[in-house]
């Protein structure tokens, strides 16, 4: 089966640089997959991905070394199964607040006897003839830690067999802690609590970072799954820079 090199990196203690796509464009996914990110997240929770567009994006990512992940809209077995059968090599599951909810996500992503995922997905043969035998080891399950309840239960969530990553949603966490949009010490302490829980359980921690510098700081903090901005922020930053250069040049003409 195609190796999940992001998991391989994290299991050896190396950080992985992850791109985040929201626009629902397979063409953009193809371009970004060629840039050298370790992985790409297709965000079907807050992004604008139809099923067809998600499938097309997974098709164009497959020939590249970049590993595709899907953030599913909800912790539902059918959504997790659809994403994996389409070719995602991992799922990011939002709003996992209890170990029972974490176990539900893991079960949906694992074949028996480790879970309840149904065998299917005709394009999975492209990932290797041994897909079913190897998928439980290669498919990443990341549970999102983004509420005060999840912080209270984070050590129990990290202890659930099959949880491969604790992924922090900083904005929803701030909202839950009552400090959105401004982050405070309670927010920082909550993030530190997740990092400590992951370290104790041997489970990598990741976060949706605001950009490259934020990713570097989080890597120094011990995080390994580093989502470095998203297509909307990259487009905005690039277009703003180009427009500023153009306006400045035109003013001198």
Residue 66 pLDDT > 90 = yes
Q: How confident is the model at residue 85 (pLDDT cuts 50, 70, 90)?
A: very high
Q: To 10 degrees, the CA torsion angle through 116, 121, 203, 103?
A: -20
- Beta-carbon contacts of residue 176 (< 8 Å; ≥ 6 apart): 146, 147, 148, 149
In DSSP notation, 139-160 reads: -EEEEEE-SHHHHHTHHHHHTS
Q: Assess whether pLDDT exceeds 90 at residue 191.
A: yes
Percent of the chain with pLDDT over 70: 100
Q: Give me 207's structure tokens.
A: 């976060």
242 is annotated as an active-site residue = no
State yes or no: pLDDT of 118 exceeds 90.
Answer: yes
Q: In the structure, what pLDDT confidence band is assigned to residue 147 with cuts at 50, 70 and 90?
A: very high
Instruction: Give pLDDT tens digits for 17-26.
Output: 999 999 999 9
* Active-site residue, from 27, 31, 46, 232: 46
Q: How many domains does the chain have?
A: 1
Please give the mean pLDDT across all residues of the chain: 97
- Supply the CATH number for residue 174's domain: 3.20.20.60
pLDDT surpassing 90 at residue 182: no
The answer to whether 138 and 82 are in contact (CB under 8 A) is no
Confidence of residue 116 (pLDDT cuts 50, 70, 90): very high
Q: Which is nearest to 186 in space by CA: 198, 195, 196, 176?
A: 176
Instruction: Please state, in angstroms and as integers, the Cα–Cα distance from residue 226 to each residue in 98, 100, 144, following that order.
Output: 23, 26, 13
Q: Both tokens of residue 10? A: 């994290």
Reported pTM: 0.96
Q: What is the extent of the structural domain holding 99?
A: 5-252
State the average pLDDT over residues 38-56.
Answer: 98
CA 149 from centroid of its chain's CA atoms: 21
pLDDT recorded at residue 96: 98
Dihedral, 153, 154, 160, 161 alpha carbons, nearest 10? 180
**CA-CA-CA-CA torsion sign (21, 26, 28, 34):** positive
Q: Does 224 score more than 90 pLDDT?
A: yes
């Amino acid at each position: 089966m195609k190796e999940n090199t992001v998991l391989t990196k994290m299991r050896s203690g190396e950080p992985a640089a992850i791109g985040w796509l929201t626009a629902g464009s397979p063409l953009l996914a193809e371009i970004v997959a060629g840039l050298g990110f370790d992985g790409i997240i297709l965000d079907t929770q807050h992004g604008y991905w139809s099923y067809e567009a998600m499938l097309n994006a997974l098709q164009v990512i497959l020939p590249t070394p970049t590993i595709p992940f899907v953030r599913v809209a909800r912790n539902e077995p059918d959504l997790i199964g659809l994403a994996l059968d389409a070719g995602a090599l991992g799922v990011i599951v939002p709003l996992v607040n209890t170990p029972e909810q974490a176990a539900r996500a893991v079960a949906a992503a694992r074949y028996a006897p480790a879970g309840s995922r149904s065998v299917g997905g005709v394009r999975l043969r492209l990932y290797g003839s041994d897909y079913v035998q190897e998928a439980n080891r290669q498919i990443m399950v990341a549970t999102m830690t983004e509420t005060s309840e999840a912080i209270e239960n984070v050590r129990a969530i990290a202890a659930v067999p099959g949880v491969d990553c604790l992924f922090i949603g900083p904005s929803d966490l701030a909202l839950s802690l009552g400090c959105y949009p401004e982050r405070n010490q309670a927010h920082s302490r909550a993030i530190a609590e997740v990092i400590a829980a992951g370290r104790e359980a041997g489970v990598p921690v990741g976060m949706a970072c605001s950009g490259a510098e934020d990713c570097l700081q989080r890597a120094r903090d011990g995080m390994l799954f580093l989502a470095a901005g998203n297509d909307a922020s990259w487009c905005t930053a690039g277009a703003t820079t180009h427009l500023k250069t153009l306006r400045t040049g035109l003013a001198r003409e």
